[in-house]
C-alpha cells in the first residue's frame, strides 16, 4: 500500500495468549508484545511497545507506533467482526499510496 515494511524477529509465541517480537530490526529496534485475553465470546487484545530512546525523537516514534498499531487493530476488528474492509488505513496518508493500490 505505502511500500513500507520492517523486519521482525519472533521471540515467543504462547498460543491464544501472547506473541513477543523484536520490531524494526533494521533501524531502531523495539520490543512489541501482543497479549490476548478471552472475555466470553470476545478477545481483549493489548499491545505493548517498549524500548524507545529516551529523547524527543524516541517519544515521537512511540506516539507514531501507538497510532499505527491502534489504527491497524481497529481495522482488523472491523474486518473480522463486520466483514467490512475499512478504508481508513488506506486513507490515512492518501498522497503516499502507491499507484498500484489506488486502483483497488
Summarize pLDDT for 14-55 with one digit per residue, the tens.
Answer: 999 999 999 999 889 999 999 999 999 989 999 999 999 999
Question: Where are the alpha helices (H) located in the chain, listed in sequence order?
Answer: 56-82, 88-91, 99-102
Residue 74, phi then psi, degrees to nearest 5: -65, -40
Cα–Cα distance measured from residue 45 to residue 99, given in angstroms and rounded to the nearest whole number: 33
Q: Is the pTM of this model over 0.95?
A: no
Whether the CB-CB separation of 35 and 52 falls below 8 Å is answered with no
| Burial status of residue 32 (CB atoms within 10 A of its CB: 0-12, 13-18, 19 or more) | buried
Query: Which candidate, 15, 8, 17, places its Cα nearest to that of 65?
Result: 8
Summarize pLDDT for 72-104 with one digit per residue, the tens.
Answer: 898 888 888 888 877 776 777 778 777 776 655
Amino acid at each position: 500500500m505505502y511500500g513500507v515494511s520492517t523486519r521482525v524477529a519472533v521471540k515467543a509465541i504462547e498460543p491464544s495468549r501472547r506473541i513477543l517480537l523484536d520490531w524494526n530490526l533494521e533501524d531502531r529496534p523495539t520490543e512489541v508484545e501482543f497479549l490476548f485475553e478471552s472475555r466470553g465470546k470476545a478477545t481483549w487484545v493489548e499491545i505493548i511497545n517498549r524500548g524507545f530512546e529516551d529523547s524527543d525523537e524516541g517519544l515521537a516514534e512511540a506516539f507514531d507506533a501507538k497510532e499505527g498499531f491502534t489504527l491497524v487493530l481497529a481495522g482488523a476488528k472491523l474486518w473480522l467482526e463486520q466483514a467490512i474492509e475499512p478504508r481508513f488505513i488506506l486513507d490515512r496518508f492518501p498522497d503516499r499510496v502507491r499507484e498500484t493500490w489506488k486502483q483497488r
